[in-house]
Structure 1
């Protein structure tokens, strides 16, 4: 009889069809929706999400409703392929610097800093060239790391593991066993398979006999399986209704808030705090949904950052005369002053984390080798399902050459020397390794810190008197950030695929397909946003662009506002020590639970540079997540329902931002 795909051993699951026309189309459509959402939120707050969990959920929902029309069943490994494409498409705005570096060059780079004596503007063609230059080398960076960090060291990659768990729940399968030889099925399903095999194989040949259950037992098992499938359908329908409901609420808020802009900033703490220190609430369903996805600890750190920055340091800087301008002025106001504290905190946390993870990894590697314990390959797949060394080598060389040639085409060798691009790519390689390891251990890919670290290092490579020193610094940071972002995204996806049993080669292909599509869509959407909206503005503040340009000016010799250096240094030291403690003792059971009370520097930094309105909404979401999980007992069903609920909130506002964009372009009047 034909073997059902759920019966296949783990090592044979990659043979299941994954690269299909239907999965490519689904992945590109879902990824496009996520990309639009990420542009909206990235330009507002600088926060961009992989959205791997919602991608897996949406792809399953699509094919679940189309199953009667499918030529063959939609499997869990094909689900992995779809979400891999979607992630590659959706993270384009961050990977290509379109919510950070590019706006910094266009909006804030002064003519004398560009090296050409004029303001730089990118055409659509220029953006496609820029994105293509940054798009591919990070993918080839990641592939050789898979065997070390996923197969040998088995780093957790929490988001990748969570996505694998969700997919296994949706498809009624489970992630791999430790022996990697089989897929564990629900108890009732296993019993039925044993019974069918007995009918075919018989009892001869000297093998051990397996007793066939009596007819009454078989009937009971079939009835139990039917009941379980019925319950699964009920749960699925409930989640779909939840998704549609939250999507509708979020969409309605998006459209209504266009006509009533005051809904975006509610002065819940009074008019004085709202006017003087920007303490308002934006009751955005999307930001509440993001807070649910982030979880209470992360959003609590962000709220702490908001209180520190906007409740303590901003009033202090204004009262002391260190920032005398309007509160929301990036140059002379408190918003610009506390930005330096935010930058110091994030860089300190990232650098200390990198150093700690690197030292720990080196010690673990050499200790293992000296003890003679070589990593086992029992959990590795056949070579036919892997990306070959030749492909990686050629791809890495070609993608690096493409990056250099296209950057020279855009800026010329006079402004951006070839040697600076070569150094930037090599530096991006090493920083990507550190970023991947940090992501695998902590679920946080500190791409922002990686970019800043690259900028800091390039201050010693490019002379300060170079005519385009600030621009070169920005380009180097963009290369480092792009490499780390794409390497991290692919590694999270590869972790998901490893647990489910998907083909790494298929996921590699998915990343390439999604990236090519994202290059063009990202370039077009960036131009659309800039043609419709005033950027920067109160709605689209592009805070990460300000951080990029200020960091470049700092490391190339421009001074800081009064006392910004002293205060930033103090907080850099504090959060450096906190980062050291969190990383050194993260695997110590005695203190592990207490470490949650120590704030993450990156999250605190985000809370400082974003206005409180976004952070408060995310904190509300984090509280909802905490209550939800506590009431559900942290069950799979409860977590899945929460993911569905939050996905609707995020995607509704993100997708309907297109509607408000159309209304804005048509100058439809609003209050």
Structure 2
């Protein structure tokens, strides 16, 4: 009997050691108002601006945005810990201790703010409306199909579309988090990270991680500053270094010394980076050289370089086919899983949706779940408030959106708002199952549906792009909020503090993100131009989706439709093969969405990302534990330093200060001709 008692005590001790909430059991959980503090919002505004600059740069270069949640949580922890310590040392009385709930508020607010820099469409549907992108698409100028960016209407538009998604999923928070026990992998991972920061061991590791991030931030920022001196003209600087030879450089195969995409490569899964490189080899290494040999046969030889009737048309529409094939497959896959999971939940509501290996929860898990559920259900958000706010904002939006875009009729917006809550729920639920947000897929569907409904003669292009913005704004914020509810659930942050911080972060983003874009737009005249520093490839892709929606397949060049159908089917088959193949084989099957990105832009950034992957691979093999702890801070430092450098670079450009040196690379024969020409000039 004594032995049995000892065994039970040992099991209880083990359970307590495994329980997260037993570690924090003696700490009081602050009320929701004490979680949303002034210092947390001040730090959130600072980090929100910083991350908006980074996301905007990534948006306007390749459109690949890695998860920055870890960096937001880490930097929020560092700044607020430093804040409280400085006040303590200064002898300021009544300084509140920094809690994990406050850390969660900062992370939520920062991600909500910087998320608008992506979902706001500055590198996609908003820029796609501009005259510059319209000229690249080769269409006849029409006032009804053009709306150039302006700070005023962008801020107003974002304010009327970005909050609806938040109110649409609030009534479902308990069902998603407590009843269905959806996993939300990103939200769960962020919660584990924040919880670990606020333990003694985690705090020590966080300090070292912040120090590492700061070191590589300084290196990356300095490297960007150094490169700027040599970029005085077109085709100048380290970005024009023909690292693989001049012939390869013509087909965009080179390493451009970008610290940003080396860092992105260290964060992104290996398969994403390899898929990008494979897409670049297939397109720029095989297909485009072959199609260029058909000049004069498949398409006229005297077209403008940017004409969609020529080689650019193949690059754009084939990448669209890959994107749509991948999007359709994943849409059907997530919808099927969502429907089957809902049916299973209705039939057996007591079973967790994740279907764990054990039917019974361990005592430690039961304690954590009970504690978290108790706090999560304590501060309720009235459903009547959410419903009333949704209807109010919807009415305001239905009235004001057509005033911003006269091509968009009130009934287009009203129809979107009737459908949107269902799609928001589907996206939030599917994101909980798969960690995959399909917001851009729903946006593309809106482009085709509303564009075709409005028609080419009634400004269908702008109507479709604006409807895309409405749909993305609602659906993306809905999934973001439910992810944050999961993070708050696991850190004992109040649902009210999560909701309020999400609303405040979204409001910050509606002002900060357009302002950052406006700075880029005014500082760099060639934004959206192929081959420039900020080519924004997604803008032309979205523009041509809108054209395809209102004009049909008649806008495609010769044989382009057949090739597009082939790649559309290939994208579906690749995804199907990945799902049916054993995991050992599936990990080597490329991702169609990642393959599509370099089809228009080129493979050079894929080389950067693969170098980052190689660094991470070697590091994992040499010292896996250290790599797991410090690779994300190293990558974040590289991304943040290079990204923040664009801010002083933009200010220098606006001030008319240009780089002093042009570093260029010429073939030997060209160099001989240049030397001869220089010698012929009078001294």
Q: Please classify the TM superposition score into its range, dividing by the shorter chain length.
A: 0.7 to 0.9
Q: 2:286 matched to which residue of 1? A: 312
SS at match of 1:66: helix
Which of 201, 211, 216 is the matching residue for 1:246?
Answer: 216
The 1:474–1:117 alpha-carbon spacing in structure 2 relative to 1, beyond 3 Å, is closer
The 1:399–1:6 alpha-carbon spacing in structure 2 relative to 1, beyond 3 Å, is farther
- Asked if structure 2 preserves the Cα contact closer than 8 Å seen for 1:166 and 1:640, the reply is no
The count of aligned residue pairs is 600
Do structure 1's residue 665 and structure 2's residue 635 form an aligned pair?
no
Which of 157, 162, 165 is the matching residue for 2:184?
Answer: 157
How far apart in 2 are the matches of 1:317 and 1:9? Answer: 69
How far apart in 2 are the matches of 1:14 and 1:523? Answer: 34
How far apart in 1 are the matches of 2:305 and 2:191? Answer: 43
Do structure 1's residue 402 and structure 2's residue 420 form an aligned pair?
no
Shift of 1:6: 5.5
How far apart in 2 are the matches of 1:442 and 1:597? Answer: 20
How far apart in 2 are the matches of 1:435 and 1:627? Answer: 37
Q: 1:176 matched to which residue of 2? A: none
1:294-305 residue pairs with structure 2 within 5 A?
Answer: 294-305=268-279
- Asked if structure 1 preserves the Cα contact closer than 8 Å seen for 2:331 and 2:438, the reply is no
Do structure 1's residue 353 and structure 2's residue 346 form an aligned pair?
no
How far apart in 1 are the matches of 2:53 and 2:484? Answer: 21
- Asked if structure 2 preserves the Cα contact closer than 8 Å seen for 1:291 and 1:621, the reply is yes
1:128-527 residue pairs with structure 2 within 5 A?
Answer: 128-172=155-199, 229=200, 235-261=205-231, 262-275=237-250, 277-321=251-295, 322=298, 329=306, 331-371=308-348, 373=350, 380-381=373-374, 382-412=376-406, 415-462=407-454, 464-527=455-518
Post-superposition Cα deviations, 1:493-529, rounded to whole Å, max 9, x if no partner, equal: 2222222222122111111111111112222222221
1:499-578 residue pairs with structure 2 within 5 A?
Answer: 499-534=490-525, 535-537=527-529, 538-558=532-552, 559-578=555-574
Q: 1:108 matched to which residue of 2? A: 133
- Asked if structure 1 preserves the Cα contact closer than 8 Å seen for 2:267 and 2:635, the reply is yes
Post-superposition Cα deviations, 1:196-233, rounded to whole Å, max 9, x if no partner, equal: xxxxxxxxxxxxxxxxxxxxxxxxxxxxxxxxx5x767
SS at match of 2:272: helix
SS at match of 1:668: coil
Post-superposition Cα deviations, 1:441-484, rounded to whole Å, max 9, x if no partner, equal: 3433233322222223335533x354211111111111122222
Q: 2:356 matched to which residue of 1? A: none
Please, what TM-score do these two structures have when normalized by structure 1? 0.83
How far apart in 2 are the matches of 1:93 and 1:249? Answer: 25
Post-superposition Cα deviations, 1:121-161, rounded to whole Å, max 9, x if no partner, equal: 34322222122122211222333443344333333333222
The 1:109–1:502 alpha-carbon spacing in structure 2 relative to 1, beyond 3 Å, is same
1:7-18 residue pairs with structure 2 within 5 A?
Answer: 7-8=24-25, 17-18=34-35
The 1:128–1:656 alpha-carbon spacing in structure 2 relative to 1, beyond 3 Å, is same
The 1:372–1:466 alpha-carbon spacing in structure 2 relative to 1, beyond 3 Å, is same
Please, what TM-score do these two structures have when normalized by structure 2? 0.81
- Asked if structure 2 preserves the Cα contact closer than 8 Å seen for 1:161 and 1:499, the reply is yes
How far apart in 2 are the matches of 1:118 and 1:480? Answer: 20
- Specify every segment of 5 or more residues in structure 2 that has no aligned partner in the other structure, as ranges: 1-20, 89-94, 232-236, 354-368, 663-683
Shift of 1:76: 1.3
- Asked if structure 2 preserves the Cα contact closer than 8 Å seen for 1:139 and 1:490, the reply is yes
How far apart in 1 are the matches of 2:28 and 2:582? Answer: 38
How far apart in 2 are the matches of 1:309 and 1:616? Answer: 14
Do structure 1's residue 610 and structure 2's residue 580 form an aligned pair?
no
Which of 45, 49, 62 is the matching residue for 1:45?
Answer: 62
Do structure 1's residue 644 and structure 2's residue 668 form an aligned pair?
no
How far apart in 1 are the matches of 2:304 and 2:78? Answer: 46
How far apart in 1 are the matches of 2:577 and 2:178? Answer: 28
Post-superposition Cα deviations, 1:322-363, rounded to whole Å, max 9, x if no partner, equal: 465799736355344122121111111122212122222222
Shift of 1:56: 0.2
The 1:32–1:269 alpha-carbon spacing in structure 2 relative to 1, beyond 3 Å, is same
How far apart in 1 are the matches of 2:318 and 2:384? Answer: 46
RMSD: 2.9
How far apart in 2 are the matches of 1:428 and 1:581? Answer: 32
How far apart in 2 are the matches of 1:16 and 1:642? Answer: 35
How far apart in 2 are the matches of 1:9 and 1:238? Answer: 27
How far apart in 2 are the matches of 1:390 and 1:632? Answer: 54
- Specify every segment of 5 or more residues in structure 1 that has no aligned partner in the other structure, as ranges: 173-228
Do structure 1's residue 80 and structure 2's residue 104 form an aligned pair?
yes
Post-superposition Cα deviations, 1:561-616, rounded to whole Å, max 9, x if no partner, equal: 22221111111112113324545x5xxxx923432222222222223333222221
The 1:572–1:522 alpha-carbon spacing in structure 2 relative to 1, beyond 3 Å, is same
Q: 1:89 matched to which residue of 2? A: 113
- Asked if structure 1 preserves the Cα contact closer than 8 Å seen for 2:528 and 2:534, the reply is yes
